[in-house]
Amino acid sequence: MSSEASYVIGVDYGSDSVRTIIVNTANGEELASSVFYYPRWKKQLYCNMNENQFRQHPLDYVEGLEVTIKECVAKVGADVASKVKALSVDTTGSTPVAVDKTGTPLALTPGFEENPNAMFVLWKDHTGVGEAAEINAHAEKFDTNYLQFVGGIYSSEWFWAKLLRVLRADEKVRNSIYSFVEHCDWIPFLLSGGTDVHAMKRGVCSAGHKILWAKEWDGLPPNEFFASLDPLLDGFTDRLFKDTYPADQSVGTITKEWAARLGLPETTVIGVGAYDAHMGAVGGQIEPYYLSKVMGTSTCDMMVAPVKDVEGKLIKGICGQVPGSVIPSMIGLEAGQSAFGDAYAWYKRLLTWPLQQILSKSSLVDDDTKAKLINETEDAIIPQLSKLAEQLEIDEHSELAVDWFNGRRTPDANQLLTASITGLDLGSDAVRMFRAVVESTCFGAKAIVERFVEQGIPVKGLIGLGGVAKKSPFIMQMMADVMNMPIKIHKSEQTCAFGAAMFAATVGGVYSKVEDAMQAMGQGFDAEYHPNPDRVAVYQHRYEKYKEVGAFMEAQTKQQVSVESLTA
């Protein structure tokens, strides 16, 4: 490592906002940060919650990129900005978009500006649930199991299901699309001045976990696999890619135009992109066999293991096992829950309905007072519920919930599944129901650990990352009790952005490998929760009931789908 001071930029695109940080490569000191909330997304434009349609306009991403980087540059000054070596990006995923041959999202071209099908299809968009089911049934017809490295089940949250849904749903997009591109691949392409989608460097992270890329079949599955699924996909692999790249490699340098626009040196190197949880695991200083849990609206659970330890094993029902998707020298294993913070947000919305629909229309108080009352109450609901729920006695027979508020990601993806709350009586109140919802999310996390262990992958401990991990001791203590294992909480609130910065430091040549950057720039841990032995046995009994209720709900869903298919 050079003794000369140098700095890097990490950009983290989340579900609601983009966060940018400028970091000192020598010690990981955060010199500036900025957050931009997507204005169109905030208004829920182009979304339809009842149909599980969630789309994001590329302008939200571009505007956020420019605003946050310029704000960070202004905070550190020209001297520091002139010593920025590199920039790397992480995004949610699978969040792909229809593009033309130049790699431009169709929503940025004339005639498609307001078309949701021409926009990024957010990870939690489940409009392709039928297409995912078709892919799963279709894969069984082939001698080669093309789903073997994604847990054996393809999800509606992923690339091919979303592409097929868009092609089927929108003739105008179908006639104009040339390729389909992940958000994490498009931003580096944009900053480095890409004009040919065939020259876009696709990250192994997104390709391996969501797009069915694998070295075992020399790239993507053959055209026959997709063309026989639906003729609309015939020839589409030729418009995609064959080669992939880990996030410690470069896509090129920033263009003169973007350098001037952002206030960065023209020598700034742009790294290959990856998903937020994968870079977040690095920012959170992941260790082999520790499950790194990025806990936000959903969870993404990451693990790394030596290649030789996983060789010959196929982990069923997870979101993939991909060499180099987290740390280039190891196998990256991904799992997660489709709703975590989103489950708490749902409950909060439920409780605040009277505020929004009744108090907001009251003539007894002025508008300013109404707004303050609503904001104060909304801010206090989850902390107060947590405080009171923590005081409740654990009872094997109290309210019990299943956490599939947005379907089930893992183990065994099924986005048709729905949540449930059982054991309600006239004594059930807001606090007890909240506790049941929290407990259900912890049980969902336990099911993931249980699957890894069943499949021969040990879990030595947990690493908690993200807003929920930092802000809710109640939830984290329950997580430790339910899991019967410790969970240590990373000090940084921006682990995804820090992970991107660590990769940028590697891409920029400051460190020879990302493990060195992780060691030098890591912020460490500031809390650790240990299981309470008095609660472990009770939670284990309740977890068994959780699985029983879940199995019943799943059977009912299968029966309903069967009836609907027969009557269709």
- Over 80: is that where the pLDDT of 90 sits? yes
- Of 549, 350, 539, residue with least CA distance to 430: 350
- Over 90: is that where the pLDDT of 1 sits? no
Pairwise CA distance, residues 38 & 423, whole Å: 40
Contacts of 390-393 with CB under 8 Å at 24 or more apart are 390/474, 390/477, 392/431, 392/432, 392/435
228-276 pLDDT, tens digit each: 999 999 999 999 999 999 999 999 999 999 999 999 999 999 999 999 9
Residue at 292 is within a domain = no
Pairwise CA distance, residues 6 & 79, whole Å: 11
- Over 60: is that where the pLDDT of 300 sits? yes
Do 69 and 166 have their domain in common? yes
- Chain-wide mean pLDDT for the chain? 95
Alpha helices in 484-532 (DSSP H): 495-507, 514-521
**Number of Cα atoms under 13 Å in the Cβ half of residue 35:** 7
CATH number, domain of 437, equals: 3.30.420.40
Do 215 and 95 have their domain in common? yes
- Give the number of domains in the chain: 2
Pairwise CA distance, residues 23 & 48, whole Å: 38
Residue at 312 is within a domain = no
CA distances from 229 to 233, 320, 541 (A): 8, 22, 44
Average pLDDT over residues 362-389: 95
Average pLDDT over residues 442-468: 95
- Over 90: is that where the pLDDT of 395 sits? no
- How is residue 475 written in tokens? 């939830």
Provide the residue type at 417 as one letter. L
DSSP 105: B
For residue 35, what are the β-bridge partners?
19
Do 505 and 423 have their domain in common? no
Residue at 229 is within a domain = yes
Percentage of the chain beyond pLDDT 70 is 98
Q: Which domain holds residue 140?
A: 7-284+492-526
Residue at 95 is within a domain = yes
Q: What is the pLDDT, as a whole number, of residue 296? A: 87
Average pLDDT over residues 482-510: 96
Q: What is the pLDDT, as a whole number, of residue 560? A: 83
For residue 323, what are the β-bridge partners?
331
Q: What is the pLDDT, as a whole number, of residue 127? A: 97
Q: What is the pLDDT, as a whole number, of residue 563? A: 63
Percentage of the chain beyond pLDDT 90 is 94
Average pLDDT over residues 351-373: 93
The three-point CA angle 250-509-213 to 5° equals: 30
For residue 121, what are the β-bridge partners?
55
Do 100 and 66 have their domain in common? yes
Average pLDDT over residues 453-482: 94
Do 520 and 464 have their domain in common? no
Do 351 and 248 have their domain in common? no
Do 196 and 267 have their domain in common? yes
Question: In a 3-state reduction of DSSP, which class is residue 36?
Answer: strand
Task: Dihedral sign for Cα 560, 562, 566, 568, please.
Answer: positive
pTM: 0.91
* Distant-in-sequence, close-in-space partners of 427: CB < 8 Å, separation ≥ 6: none
Do 258 and 353 have their domain in common? no
- How is residue 225 written in tokens? 């696999």
152-190 pLDDT, tens digit each: 999 999 999 999 999 999 999 999 999 999 999 999 999
Do 485 and 518 have their domain in common? no
Residues 225/160, Cβ–Cβ less than 8 Å: no
- Of 319, 317, 323, residue with least CA distance to 304: 323
- Over 80: is that where the pLDDT of 195 sits? yes
Residue at 482 is within a domain = yes
Start-to-end C-alpha separation, the chain: 65
Q: Residue 28 burial by CB count (10 A; 0-12/13-18/19+): exposed, middle or buried?
A: buried
Phi, psi of 280 (to 5 degrees): -65, -35
Residues 166/121, Cβ–Cβ less than 8 Å: yes
The three-point CA angle 211-343-291 to 5° equals: 55
What is the band of 561 on the pLDDT scale with cuts at 50, 70, 90? confident
Provide the residue type at 49 as one letter. M
Residue at 266 is within a domain = yes
Average pLDDT over residues 461-486: 95
Do 132 and 272 have their domain in common? yes
Q: What is the pLDDT, as a whole number, of residue 3? A: 58
Q: What is the pLDDT, as a whole number, of residue 154? A: 96
CA distances from 317 to 126, 332, 333, 408, 417 (A): 18, 15, 11, 11, 15
Do 518 and 421 have their domain in common? no
Residue at 210 is within a domain = yes
Pairwise CA distance, residues 318 & 73, whole Å: 40
Do 241 and 210 have their domain in common? yes
Q: What is the pLDDT, as a whole number, of residue 566? A: 53
- Of 448, 438, 447, residue with least CA distance to 405: 438
The three-point CA angle 250-252-258 to 5° equals: 125
Residues 293/462, Cβ–Cβ less than 8 Å: yes
